[in-house]
A and B are shown apart, each in its own frame.
Chain A
Amino acid sequence: MRFRPSYLLIAFPLAFLLLFFYLPMADILRLGLWDNGPTLRFLSAVLGNSYHRWVIRFTITQALSSTALTLIIGLPGAYIFAKYDFPGKRVIRAILTVPFVMPGIMVALGFILLFGKDGFIAHLIGRDPGIIYTWKAILLAHAFYNFPIVIRMVSSLWQRVNPHYEEMAQTLGAKGFRLFWKVTLPLISPAIFASAMLTFVFCFLSFSIPLILGGYRYVTMEVDIFSTVMTLLDFRTGSALAVIQITLSAIFMYLYLRSLDTYSKREEQRILQRPQKLGPRDLLSLKGLGVVLYSVLVFVFIVAPLLAIVYDSLLFNGHLSLENYRRVFSPEYNPMFGVSTLGAIKNSLLFGFTTVVISILVALPLAYLLNRWDFRGKRLLDVLVMLPLASSPVTVALGYIMVFQSTPLYYTFWIVAIAHSIIAYPFVFRSLSTGLTKIKRNLREAALTLGANEWKAFLKVELPLALGSLIVGAIFAFAMSIAELGATYMLAPPEYTTMSLAVYKFLGARHFGSASALSVILMVVSAIGFLIIEKVGEEVW
């Protein structure tokens, strides 16, 4: 093989990962496991502390319960989506994309407005439903985020269950529940398992939701690390906690990726069962009523928190007015977070776009390399590239504070953008990998034999074909950057306060009206991402 300039493109992502992920992680490991030699003293101090022990146990139980609730809500939807075509299916499907792009802080606010002791439901039933600041709110919000994933993955596989299997089993005498249990369930179980694992990992690392909805009592490890570092300034304990968190989440992430492999293999099957068409007449049957009821519930579940925010933003002293918006944009709030509201919007967009650019620069060469070339150590590189997925924003930020504190990078725009990129790029990478895998290799070869060099073949043939997955990945990166709270809080200087951070500060100061008004703006920005994903459609669904 001759040396190709494209090798240099690989150098950037590798150097980036080394400097901005592995170096900070190594420092966390050093602080958590080293004191003039390897020691488990700090780990056992954490594990011996009843509060931290409770947090670890709660983090796992809430993730398990959230996953269970997510499956309970999502699986009927998966069935309905796989089996039936009905009026309004497109709308519901579009609505299901919404949670993907909605920032956690906003969802938390929506839930407070809906379920809080002064919220809509409290007014409706005349008493506090007792959900907010308990584990129930955390579970509900997690389900809100993740049940669309279950619907998407499981229905996709359910549609690919070759009808001949079920028909064969029926001729052999299986029916009803036995048919489902013995034939259908084993065929769709990879999707159930993979989507459950993904949900579990998300819930395990969740930050904004438990931070705001859990109150003081229901704290997850991510929140625990955050407050240990930011409030108690105890980096040693924070690192020890982070080591435990990374270890656990790496195991969960590994299980998820393994289950995803099985899932993807099954998903390659091209046999698609046509969903049964339900006309307006069928909607009155039992089946139809089920579909309608479920669709309405999904609609309410997703849209209600958002509507609550919009409504609250327009309410001032019990009257409909734009006063909240006026206040948000007036200079009187500037001292609260060190920047004007317009400035916060600009910051969010700037971080978003920078994150998109950096994550593509990191993810694209790596995805291409791992998909197209065979070389020694490929498996290892694969793991090294995906490991950041097992870390969390707060952990990354903790590492950055320790490593870059005495460098000019510290407390700048760039360190925040880089933190966002490290968190976001694995998603761009996954999306691109899926896209690239679907492109037949001989298209590139055809281009080469027709006179294109490697670079031209990539630009003219492969990149256009992978564009959909690139855009979807970019939107995810953008949405993550916009939504990010923990790392931004820990790393951003006041003049780089983002919208999410501003909403958080409004919430802390109990300015719900202002928080809502700003959230509506945040919602609009996120909705643009949602619209683009809808446009590129196929790739996500």
Chain B
Amino acid sequence: MVSVELRNVSKRWDGFELRVDLSVKDGEFLTLLGPSGCGKTTTLRIIAGLEKPDSGRVLFDGNDVTDLEPNERNIGIVFQDYALFPHMTVFKNIAFGLEMRKLPGAEIERRVKWALELVGLEGLENRYPEQLSGGQQQRVALARALVIEPEVLLLDEPLSNLDAKIRERLRSEIRRIQRELGITTVYVTHDQEEAMAISDRIAVMNVGRIDQIGEPLELYYKPWTEFVARFLGTSNILELEAENGVARLGSLEFSVGVDGRVKVFFRPESVLITEGEDATVTGYELLPGRMRLYLDVEGHTIIAERPLPDLPFEPNRVPPRVGILVRSFSLLSL
């Protein structure tokens, strides 16, 4: 397997500019996460060689592949709509890449069988794509990409056309297969939950740039920008003035270590609820096993989420005012 590096890669089209520096380690599962139109699919297509960057280099294991055609790069790709060849059977679809490599027939047969087992589709080799369910088509696409033993696996929103249930099952299966083969993988999605569940590292993209790259927990609890904070889960972001290294809001004190305007960030589950009068309860929602509270402190809205047993009151008797503590926080760039 190889490492993948994008060095000063840029591409412009229709007034949009993509600028990316990225390095994916050997055997790593890296996810490009962002809203639609942020350039994540284009980044993937540049790695695949389906798009040429205007400038910058693409390196596989340090070797420059920028000018290589897709068929010279040894990559496997799964498209959002799978792009299975409609005029070929499952077997023919999976065998396509092997035939292009002119492998002998027996070897092709053996490898296709292996790939079908890997994705759990034994016995369907003579079906045509239109005779398969969405989940099965997705597995064929995965098998077709993997059977050529690619050095890099590229997945472009592979699960977004599937039902929620199948989506969850397939995503853990993709992860299992990726670990089993130890294949360097770049995964594109707009679904933050999927990204959190599946990735070694996540790169959050925003209008053509990577805002932050890191492990899921790091991104979740220590986002650098408001965009990353808001894109992953629910956030509390308070814009406060700090004096003598401390920012205050009501009874809350944040030791920020700097003076002037700051953006204090913390997650709803970092807010502890106590008996007290610090905040006004403006609304609440009962979730499975948890409660989400909407609180007002001096005109700032704070969202808190606690497991029901941790609440100092009965879930059906929410008091008008509660006390709050913020267990941990971080600062966002201004």
Given the contacts A442-B81, A461-B85, A464-B87, A449 and B76 also touching, CB distance less than 8 Å = yes
CA distance A460 to B144 in the complex (A): 16
- A-chain residues with CB within 8 Å of residue B49 when the two chains form the complex: 448-449
| Given A445-B50, A445-B70, A446-B77, residue A452 in contact with residue B83 (CB < 8 A) | no
* Complex interface: chain A residues within 8 A of B101 (CB): 451
> Is the beta-carbon distance between B71 and A446 smaller than 8 angstroms?
no
CB-based closest 8 A-B pairs: A450-B97, A451-B100, A446-B83, A448-B70, A442-B83, A449-B77, A449-B70, A452-B100
A448-B50, A449-B71, A465-B86 given; 5 more Cβ-contact pairs under 8 Å: A449-B49, A449-B75, A451-B74, A453-B71, A461-B85
Residues of B within 8 A of A445 (CB): 48, 50, 70, 77, 79, 83
- Which chain A residues border B86 with CB–CB below 8 Å? 465
* A443 at the binding interface (Cβ < 8 Å): yes
CB of A456 within 8 Å of the partner chain: yes
For chain B, the bracket of interface size reads: 20 to 34
Please give the residue numbers on chain A whose beta carbons come within 8 Å of chain B beta carbons, in ascending order.
1, 440, 442-443, 445-453, 456, 460-461, 464-465
B96 contacts partner chain A, Cβ-Cβ < 8 Å = yes
The CA-CA distance from A465 to B75 in the complex, in Å, is 25
Most buried by B among A440, A448, A461: A448
Main secondary structure of the interface of B (DSSP, over half): loop
Please, which residues of chain A bring their CB within 8 A of the CB of B9?
Answer: none
Q: Which of A1, A440, A460, A464 makes the CB contact (< 8 A) with B96? A: A460
Whether B100 pairs with A449 at a CB distance below 8 angstroms is no
A440 touches B81 (CB 8 A): yes
CA distance A451 to B77 in the complex (A): 11
How many angstroms between the C-alpha atoms of A448 and B81 in the bound complex? 16
Q: Does any Cβ of A come within 8 Å of B109's Cβ?
A: no
Chain A contact residues: helix, strand, loop or mixed: helix
The reply to whether A465 and B87 form a contact with Cβ atoms under 8 Å apart is: yes
Q: Please give me the residue from chain B that is nearest to A452 by CB atom.
A: B100
What are 22 A-B pairs with beta-carbon distances under 8 A?
A442-B79, A445-B50, A445-B79, A446-B83, A447-B85, A447-B96, A448-B50, A448-B71, A449-B48, A449-B77, A450-B76, A450-B96, A450-B97, A450-B144, A450-B145, A451-B71, A451-B100, A451-B101, A451-B148, A456-B100, A460-B96, A461-B85
Give min CB distance, A455 to chain B, whole Å. Answer: 11
Q: Which residues of A contact B50 (CB under 8 A)?
A: 445, 448-449
Q: From residue B143, how far is it (CB to closest CB) to chain A in Å?
A: 12
- The answer to whether B69 and A446 touch across the interface, beta carbons within 8 angstroms, is no
Chain B window 28-58, contacts with chain A (Cβ cutoff 8 Å), 1 for yes, 0 for no: 0000000000000000000011101000000
How far apart are the CA atoms of A455 and B178 in the complex, in Å?
Answer: 32
Assembled-state Cα–Cα distance A443/B129 (Å): 13
The distance from the CB of B208 to the nearest CB of chain A, in whole angstroms, is 21
Chain B min CB distance to A539 (Å)? 14
Query: Which residues of chain B are within 8 angstroms of A446 by Cβ–Cβ distance?
Result: 77, 79, 83-85, 144
* CB closest chain-A residue, reference B100: A451
CB-defined contacts of B97 to chain A, threshold 8 Å: 450-451
Q: For residue B145, which residues in chain A have a CB less than 8 angstroms away from its CB?
A: 449-450
Is the beta-carbon distance between A453 and B69 smaller than 8 angstroms? Answer: yes
> Which chain B residues lie closer than 8 Å to A453 at the CB level?
69, 71
Cβ–Cβ contact B83 & A440, under 8 A:
yes
Q: Within the complex, what minimum Cβ distance (angstroms) separates A464 from chain B?
A: 5
List the B side residues contacting A456 at CB < 8 Å: 100
Chain B residue with minimal CB distance to A444? B83
Q: How far is the CA of A456 from the CA of B87 in the complex (A)?
A: 15
Chain A residues near B144 (CB-CB < 8 A): 446, 450
Chain B min CB distance to A191 (Å): 27
Interface centre among B48, B52, B70, B75 (most CB of A within 10 A): B70
Contact flag A450-B100 (CB < 8 Å), given A445-B50, A445-B70, A465-B86: yes
Name the residue on A nearest B141 (C-beta). A446
Nearest-Cβ distance from residue B327 to partner chain A, whole angstroms:
47
How far, in whole Å, are A464 and B96 apart by their CA atoms in the complex? 14
**A270 CB, nearest partner CB in chain B, Å:** 14
B71 touches A443 (CB 8 A): no
Identify which of B48, B49, B76, B86 gathers the most chain A CB atoms within 10 Å of its CB: B86
CA distance A518 to B76 in the complex (A): 60
Interfacial chain A residues near B148, Cβ < 8 Å: 450-451
Complex Cα gap A445–B75 (Å): 12
- List chain B residues, Cβ under 8 A from A447: 85, 96, 100
A-facing residues in B74-113 (Cβ within 8 Å) = 74-77, 79, 81, 83-87, 96-97, 100-101
Interchain CA distance A317-B85 in the complex, whole Å: 62
Q: A442-B79, A445-B50, A446-B77 are in contact. Are A452 and B87 (CB under 8 A)?
A: no
Provide the residues of chain A in CB contact with B48, threshold 8 Å.
Answer: 445, 449
Decide yes or no: A443 and B85 within 8 Å by CB, A448-B69, A450-B144 being known contacts.
Answer: yes
Chain A residue, CB-CB nearest to B92: A460
A460 vs B99: C-alpha distance in the bound complex, in angstroms? 11
Complex alpha-carbon distance, A451 and B72, angstroms: 7
